[in-house]
């Protein structure tokens, strides 16, 4: 073997190349050798996913609502640049929701809801455009919606802007005939930006504005009468960080929410995705939510009855809905997923939710409501085709 005749420190690019060298390099640099971050692209394979959700909520001494919901979702690429997606869910709900605050409603409900949605997505070199429709029906509630969404990536594909518009029209006919043929119409707008910060970091900011008019009250709650206009604004900030040391990913998010009912809420979520050997992935999750009460929320007294304003008269705006009270809530979750082979995967997700007025931060929580727990178990199996 001859020793190298080249200077051992020969750089790949001399400081300045003569015109021919520059021309050769420039020609090559016109090739797509750098668009490394990928714009959202058409899925290469379709998938079908079956899920089964079992949800149960309770408060001390009372199991409130039980929901069993099987669902199926299909996603399929069509041609070179399109995909279609659809899902169907059928849920059966049984139990009773509170009559007011956390007081048991004597009327048991058994409700069967069927819902479906369908989305068509067009993939462009630097963006996507999607149109969707949804429909849901149960004995007292019919909801119809349409959505349009788009995304557009910068030339280096490190920044993606997205936007969406949705229109929903609901028709409400409570079984107790408190109201007949009520309506609720909702328009929602979303704008967002996603930025790749480094090979290991991606951040997203989404702003959502929802304008709604119509019947917002709960017909099965006594005295419940809410404003017919509700505008909601939310800001969501997300940050995903990949850890080279463990090959895991942290997902942190913060959401601020406010609406014209004067509910203000903060939600912090932390998830950690850890891939393990043999196709296993573990994802523990912790979420904390805290909110202030709606301005027309009426507190409960020590025996569980609403404390109505002294000048209360029928028709006045009031609500005793626990969801509009001031509280803090924790959600703990764990998802275990396993890739079985190149086509099949399955997962199990368990979440436990605990809500308590005493846990509110940035103010005092609503008093005299029983703590509220919910537990959710979801099984999923998915196949690529």
Partner 1 sequence: MSIAAPATLFHTPFEAMASRCEVKLNAPTAAAAQRYADLAIAEVKRIEHAYSRYRPDSVVSRINAAAGGKSAVLCDAETVSLLDYAGSLFAMSDGLFDITSGVLRQAWNFKQAKVPSPSRLKPLLDLVGWARVERDGARIRLPQAGMELDFGGFGKEYAADRAAAVLMDVGVTQGYVNLGGDMRVIGPQPDGSPWAVGIQDPRRAGQVIATIPVSSGALATSGDYERFFEHKGRRYCHILNPHTGYPVAHWQSVSVLAPLSITAGSCTTIAMLKAADGAAFLAQTGLMYLTIDAHGQFGQPPA
Interaction site with partner 1 (CB under 8 A): 1-14, 16-21, 23-25, 27-34, 36-37, 125, 199-200, 244-247, 275, 277
Least gap, CB of 360 to partner 1 (angstroms): 41
Least gap, CB of 186 to partner 1 (angstroms): 40
Least gap, CB of 180 to partner 1 (angstroms): 57
Cβ closer to partner 1: 41 or 295? 41
Tell me if 64 sits within 8 A of 98, measured CB to CB. Answer: yes
Distance of CA 376 to the CA centre of its chain: 16
Q: Can you give the length of the chain in residues?
A: 385
Cβ closer to partner 1: 11 or 314? 11
Residue 382 and residue 385: Cα distance in Å, rounded? 10
Cβ closer to partner 1: 25 or 268? 25
- CA torsion, ordered 204, 291, 360, 192, to nearest 10 deg: 0
Least gap, CB of 42 to partner 1 (angstroms): 13
Neighbours of 362 (CB within 10 A): 12
Residue 235 and residue 266: Cα distance in Å, rounded? 10
Least gap, CB of 29 to partner 1 (angstroms): 8
Cα-Cα-Cα-Cα dihedral sign, residues 9, 15, 16, 17: positive
Cβ closer to partner 1: 27 or 313? 27
Cβ closer to partner 1: 6 or 180? 6
Least gap, CB of 248 to partner 1 (angstroms): 10
The number of CA neighbours under 13 Å toward the Cβ of 162 is 21
Neighbours of 173 (CB within 10 A): 14
Least gap, CB of 155 to partner 1 (angstroms): 12
Cβ closer to partner 1: 176 or 245? 245
SS3 of 192, please? strand
SS3 of 26, please? helix
Cβ closer to partner 1: 278 or 303? 278
In 176-209, which positions are buried (b, 16+ CB within 10 angstroms) versus exposed (e)?
Answer: eeeeeebebebebebebebebeeeeebebebebe
């Amino acid at each position: 073997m001859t020793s190298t005749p080249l200077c051992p420190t020969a750089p790949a690019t001399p400081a300045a190349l003569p015109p021919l060298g520059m021309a050769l390099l420039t020609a090559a640099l016109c090739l797509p050798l750098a668009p490394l971050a990928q714009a959202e692209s058409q899925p290469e394979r379709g998938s079908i996913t079956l899920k089964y959700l079992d949800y149960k909520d309770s408060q001390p001494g009372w199991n409130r609502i039980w929901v069993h919901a099987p669902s199926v979702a299909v996603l399929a690429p069509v041609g070179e640049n399109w995909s279609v997606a659809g899902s169907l869910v059928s849920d059966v709900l049984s139990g009773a929701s509170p009559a007011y605050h956390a007081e048991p409603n004597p009327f048991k409900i058994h409700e069967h809801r069927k819902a479906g949605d369908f989305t068509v997505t067009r993939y462009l070199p630097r963006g996507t455009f999607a149109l969707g429709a949804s429909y849901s029906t149960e004995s007292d509630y019919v909801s119809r919606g349409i959505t349009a969404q788009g995304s557009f990536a910068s030339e280096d594909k490190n920044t993606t802007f997205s936007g969406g518009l949705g229109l929903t029209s609901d028709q409400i006919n409570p079984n107790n005939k408190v109201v007949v043929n009520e309506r609720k119409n909702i328009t929602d707008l979303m704008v967002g930006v996603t930025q790749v910060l480094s090979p290991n970091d991606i951040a997203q900011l989404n702003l959502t504005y929802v304008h709604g008019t119509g019947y917002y009250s709960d017909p099965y709650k006594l005295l419940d009468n809410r404003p017919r206009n509700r505008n909601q604004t939310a800001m969501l900030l997300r940050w995903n960080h990949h850890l080279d040391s463990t090959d895991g990913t942290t997902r942190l998010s913060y959401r601020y929410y406010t609406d014209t009912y004067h509910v203000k809420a903060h939600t912090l979520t932390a998830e950690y995705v850890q891939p393990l050997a043999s196709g296993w992935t573990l994802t523990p999750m912790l979420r904390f939510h805290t909110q202030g009460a709606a301005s027309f929320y009426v507190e409960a007294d020590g025996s569980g009855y609403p404390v109505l304003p002294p000048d209360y008269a029928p028709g006045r705006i009031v609500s005793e809905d626990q969801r509009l009270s001031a509280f803090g809530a924790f959600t703990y979750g764990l998802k275990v997923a396993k890739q079985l082979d190149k086509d099949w995967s399955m997962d199990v997700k368990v979440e436990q939710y605990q809500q308590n007025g005493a846990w509110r931060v940035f103010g005092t929580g609503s008093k005299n409501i029983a703590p509220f727990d919910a537990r959710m178990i979801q099984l999923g199996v998915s196949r690529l085709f």
